[in-house]
Structure 1
Amino acid sequence: MTPGCDAPGEFRAPPEEGARSDAPPAYRWLCLDHVREFNARYNFFSGMTPDEINAAQRPYAGWERETRAFATAGADRPPPWADFTDPLDAIGARFRERMREGAMRKDGKPLSDGDRRALRVLGLGTDADRRALRTRYSELVRQYHPDRNGGDRGFEGKLQDVIAAYQVLRKSAAFA
Structure 2
Amino acid sequence: MGEETPHPLPEERLCDWQDCSDAGEHRAPRSPDDLNSYHWFCLDHIRQYNKAWNFYEGMSDEEVEADVRRDTTWNRPSWPFAGERRDVNFRPTGPDIDDYGAFGETFGETPNRTQWRHGPDTPQSKALALFDLTPPLNARDLKSRYKDLVKRHHPDTNGGDKRAEEQFKRIAEAYQTLMAELGD
Give TM class, smaller chain: 0.3 to 0.5
What's the TM-score, normalizing by structure 1?
Answer: 0.36
Normalising by the residue count of structure 2, what TM-score does the alignment of the two structures yield? 0.34
Indicate the structure with greater helix content: 1
- Structure with the bigger RCO (C-alpha within 8 Å, sep 6+) is 1
